[in-house]
Amino acid sequence: MPITKLIILDRDGVVNYDSDQFIKSPEEWKPIPGSLEAIARLNQAGFKVVLATNQSGVGRGLFDMAMLNAIHGKMHKALAQVGARIDACFFCPHAADSDCGCRKPKPGMFQEIAVRFNMSLAGVPCIGDSLRDLKAAAEVGGQPILVLTGKGEKTRSEGDLPENTLIFGDLNEAVRHVIQKST
C-alpha cells in the first residue's frame, strides 16, 4: 500500500448517474444512492479521493468550462452535506476523436495525478464503470476496480477486462473492500 492512501474514481456512472446524452448541467447531475456516503467513509479512513473523468462534452461544445465548474460545484456541495470531499478533480475536456494523451484509456490523466501527489500509482485503487477507466488504471500499475453501475454491467459482459480487475456492485461495495484491505 502506498504511504499516502489514494483512490481514483471515475465520475459518471460511479459517483453519479450517467447519461448517453452527457451530464450537461447541474440539474442533470444526480448522485447514485450511497456513493456520497462511500466517499465520506474513504475520507474518514484517511484516503485522498481524486476524480479522473473524461468530459468530452466540453470539446464537443455541448457545455463550457463554466458549466462543468457549476456541475462540479453541485457535486462538491452534495458531498459536503454528508461530510465528504473530493481532494482533486482531473478531467479531459477533449473530444473523443482528438489525439490527446489525457483521455482515458490513455494514461495521461493518471500520470498527472501521480506527479501532483508525488507518488507511484502502483496498487492504487482505481474505480470505474467502463473499460477505458480500467485500462488507464492498469497502464499505470493501479488496481482496476469495475463497478456495475453506469455502464458497468455492459463492460463486464463485453469482457476483455485487464488482469486482476476486481468487480463490485457499486461504489459502496467497492469502498468497503478498499477500506478493509487498507487496514
**pLDDT tens digits, residue range 88-115?**
999 999 998 888 999 999 999 999 999 9
CA neighbours closer than 13 Å in the CB half-sphere of residue 11: 25
C-beta of residue 39 within 8 angstroms of C-beta of residue 156: no
User: Among 38, 24, 26, 21, which Cα is nearest to 168's?
Assistant: 38
| Mean pLDDT for all residues in the chain | 96
Cell digits of residue 41? 467513509
pLDDT at 1: 44
97 is catalytic: no
Domains parsed from the chain with CATH numbers: 6-182 (3.40.50.1000)
Residue 115 burial class via C-beta count within 10 angstroms: exposed 0-12, middle 13-18, buried 19 and up: exposed
Give the sign of the dihedral formed by CA 106, CA 161, CA 21, CA 74: negative
Band of the pLDDT at 2, cuts 50, 70, 90? very low
**pLDDT tens digits, residue range 7-57?**
999 999 999 999 999 999 999 999 999 999 999 999 999 999 999 999 999
12 is catalytic: yes
pLDDT at 3: 54
pLDDT at 96: 87
DSSP 145-163: EEESTTTHHHHHHH--PPT
Rounded to an integer, what distance in angstroms lies between the CA atom of residue 135 and that of residue 39?
23
Going by the DSSP 8-state scheme, the letter that residue 176 receives in this structure is H
Give the sign of the dihedral formed by CA 77, CA 78, CA 84, CA 87: negative
Alpha-carbon distances, residue 120 vs 28, 41, 78, 163, 178 (angstroms): 35, 23, 30, 19, 18
pLDDT at 147: 98
Share of the chain above pLDDT 70, in %: 98
